[in-house]
Chain A
Amino acid sequence: MGVYLLRRLFQSVLVMLAMSVIVFVGVFAIGDPVEILISPDADQMERERAIKALGLDLPLWMQYLSFLGNALRGDLGRSFVFNEPALKLILERMPATLELAFGAMFIALLIGLPLGLYAGLKPNSTGAKAVMAGSILGFSLPTFWVGLMLIMVFAVQLGWLPSTGRGTTVEILGMRWSFLSWDGLRHIAMPALNLALFKISLVIRLTRAGVRETMLMDYVKFARAKGLSPARVTYVHVFKNILIPVVTVVGLELGSTIAFSVVTESVFAWPGMGKLIIDSINVLDRPVIVAYLMIIVLMFITINLLVDLAYSALDPRVRLENK
């Protein structure tokens, strides 16, 4: 396990380095760095001073090293718009995004697992067919459009839920959370459901496919032949085995949920990282874009690492392969 952990850590660092090169090349080499990093309002004198200060007259590899050095010290530049360190801006908005993402994952498992199990156990029943048709719909519905329709129905027409914003937040550990107040819960309900929609379908399909394939396995037939009760076969022999892929995928999906919250946050004006990055792209606030990309890449690599480790702990075959 120790060797495996070290090797995966080493790989993660390599990937992180590779991504930093891509981001660097994307911002510093493809675009015009002067235009990207210096506010367009700056006059000629300021421009030249900034070019010197940013080291843009140095060769590219030296620029990359200083970019890397600054990034390691947590300095990813200052936002043109807010005139604050980009990193700070993003970290401030992270709790809102995480809250939304975890809320969505929770809803996805809560709804997806039982429905998927049902659809897998009784694949020919009308109910199961309805669930599967519904899941295709869940995959197909464009998130942003569903969000708009949710707002139209529940906020504009019925007036039950607020359309935008985070509502009252409660401060814990220096961060503000919505889900602890009733008003906050009312605000998070629609965005979380909207973000969960895709994941609900995914969990349903994974569970169903897993159940259907596992049911054909010899050990399930054997368990049945032994005369075990259907409930025991279902929950111990089948469910436990399909839980591994489902847990892995759900874990992996946490990252993509955070990424897709970009869309949901834009629709519901949820003040998280996603909304910040879209606003920043639209006003060309590049330091924030760079900082966002670096942070999200780091986040992804960490999540992937954790999922791999959890996977190897859950599935003995992976462990053996890596011995």
Chain B
Amino acid sequence: MSTTTANPAPAAAKAPRVETPFRRFVSEFCESKLALGGLIVFAFIALIAILAPLLAPQNPYDLAQLDIMDGRLPPGSEAGAGFTYWLGTDDQGRDMLSGIMYGLRISLMVGAGSAIIACAVGVTLGLVAAYGGGRTDTLIMRLVDLQLSFPSILAALMILAFLGKGIMNVVLALVIVEWAYYARTIRGTALVERRREYIEAAHCLALPTHRVIFRHLLPNCLPPLIVVATMQVARAIALEATLSYLGLGVPITEPSLGLLISNGYEYMLSGKYWISFYPGIALLVTIVSINLVGDQLRDVLNPRLKK
């Protein structure tokens, strides 16, 4: 990682193919068309989620815009307000397309938010464990082992059973479930990296410890962390959807994709498939695209698979 490419005349020779680690990484990532496609699809989904209030034909939270007479219309029906329900409506007469766009916002927000917090907590504790060693290390890693030996759904279930529903409670539950993955990953890498010469060199320069950890050690521990983070975001989104489906996640006023699917369950048995089907497709495409990216990242960033 610390190799610097010899580039004698950077200004004059603007050679298109100078091998920097980043460029090599990009070109290796793009080797898989599937992963590249996943990245593009995910960017598109994220854009839809961010711009939902501008793009959606209807604000599904605004009761004034809903017409109960439009309830459970099949996809393609005309709305009273003049637009088409491309994906049908649910039992409240809510446009499914708009519902999905707004649901994506909540799902992505919860997924990304919990991943960021969990990453911050996990990385800090993991680095403390790796650097502190001794008792600190044992204590933190026992905690990680304990956390990892319980399946995520169970831990989340336990926390939500105590705390009750709500977006913040779901985020908290996801953070508690996920931090251990980050902690274990970063500790493992940090233990290897801290024995390297550049860390020794940094210490010889009498740099303060926190500077060595955050400016020298952490950047070099990033590759495996990126892989874990990608996968964990996908997991968080799926777990949130599952919890919401079970009725333990987000409140009914702020439906995520999981809750939309759950709402359609009773109508599915009578053949009104669209209320559950389309939110599920949206959820699926989101998770698949993230996982495709993560999968390729793992192959590219794993030195053991390098020929």
Contact: A142 with B153, CB < 8 Å?
no
Are B242 and A30 in contact, with the CB atoms below 8 A? Answer: no
- Complex Cα gap A293–B288 (Å): 32
Bound together, the chains give a CA A40 to CA B147 distance in angstroms of 34
* Segment at the interface with B among A88-96, A144-152, A238-246: A144-152
Determine whether A313 belongs to the interface, using a CB cutoff of 8 Å to chain B.
no
Would A145 and B162 count as touching, CB distance under 8 A?
no
Residue of B nearest to A255 (CB): B151
Known: A26-B162, A300-B150. A263 touches B283 (CB 8 A): no
Least CB distance from A25 to B in Å reads 9
Cross-interface CB contact of B245 among A252, A256, A263, A296, cutoff 8 Å: A263
Whole-angstrom distance between the alpha carbons of A143 and B261 in the complex?
12
Total chain B interface residues with beta-carbon distance under 8 A: 40
What residues on B are CB-neighbors of A8 within 8 Å? none
Is the pair A260, B151 in contact by a Cβ cutoff of 8 Å? yes
Q: Which residues of A contact B271 (CB under 8 A)?
A: 156
Q: Is B247 positioned at the interface, with any CB of A under 8 Å from its CB?
A: yes
Say yes or no: is B273 at the interface (Cβ < 8 Å to chain A): yes
**In the assembled complex, B292 has its CB within 8 A of some CB on chain A:** yes
- Interface membership of B55, Cβ < 8 A: no
A142 to B238, CA, bound (A): 6
The residue that A136 contacts in the complex, of B158, B247, B269, B292, with Cβ under 8 A, is: B292
A148, B242: Cβ atoms closer than 8 Å? no
A278 proximity list for chain B (CB < 8 A)? 246-248
Interface residues of A, CB < 8 Å — how many? 43
1/0 per residue, CB under 8 A from A, across B226-266: the answer is 00000000100010011001111000000000100100010
What per-residue 1/0 map shows which CB atoms of A23-38 lie under 8 Å from chain B?
A: 1001100110000000
Contacts of A15 in B (CB 8 A): 146
Q: Is A30 a contact partner of B163 (Cβ separation < 8 A)? A: yes
Residues on A with C-beta less than 8 A from B304 are 213
B199 → chain A, closest Cβ, in Å? 27
Q: A277 touching B157 by the CB < 8 A rule?
A: yes
The contact string, 1 if C-beta is below 8 Å from chain B, for chain A 139-171, is: 111111100110110001000000100000000
Which listed residue (A142, A212, A304) contacts B284, Cβ 8 A?
A142
Does A56 have its Cβ within 8 Å of any Cβ on chain B? no
- In the complex, how many angstroms separate the beta carbon of A89 from the nearest chain B beta carbon? 16
A137 within 8 A of B: yes
Q: How far is the CA of A295 from the CA of B177 in the complex (A)?
A: 20
Interface pair B161/A281, CB less than 8 Å apart: yes
Measured between C-beta atoms, what is the minimum distance from A143 to chain B in Å?
A: 7
CB distance A136 to B288 under 8 Å? yes
**Pairwise interchain contact B268-A152, C-beta atoms closer than 8 A:** yes
Closest to B304 in A: A213
The residue of chain A having its C-beta at the shortest distance from the C-beta of B283 within the complex is: A142
Partner of B161, one of A141, A266, A289: A289
Across the interface, do A148 and B154 meet the contact criterion of CB distance under 8 Å? no
A26 to B155, CA, bound (A): 12
Contact A148 to B276, CB < 8 A, known contacts A259-B154, A281-B161, A304-B149? yes
A262 within 8 A of B: yes
Interface residues of A in 2-32 (CB under 8 A from B): 15, 18, 23, 26-27, 30-31
Contact of B246 with A262 in the complex, beta carbons under 8 Å: yes
Q: Taking the nearest CB of chain B, how far is it from the CB of A101, in angstroms?
A: 12
Q: Complex: how many Å from CA A233 to CA B304? A: 21
If A31-B162, A148-B268, A281-B248 touch, does A136 touch B154 (CB 8 Å cutoff)? Answer: no
Q: Give Cα A120 to B280, complex, Å.
A: 31
The verdict on A318 contacting chain B, using a C-beta distance below 8 Å, is no
Residues of chain B at the chain A interface (Cβ within 8 Å): 34, 146, 149-151, 153-154, 157-158, 160-163, 234, 238, 241-242, 245-248, 258, 261, 265, 268-269, 271, 273, 276-277, 280, 283-284, 287-288, 291-292, 295, 304-305
Q: Which 7 A-B pairs have the closest CB atoms?
A: A256-B151, A145-B280, A26-B162, A140-B287, A259-B151, A259-B154, A140-B288
A-B contact pairs, 23 of them (CB 8 A): A15-B146, A23-B158, A26-B161, A31-B162, A136-B292, A140-B238, A142-B287, A144-B261, A145-B261, A148-B280, A152-B277, A156-B269, A163-B269, A259-B151, A262-B153, A262-B154, A262-B246, A263-B242, A263-B246, A266-B246, A281-B157, A281-B161, A282-B247
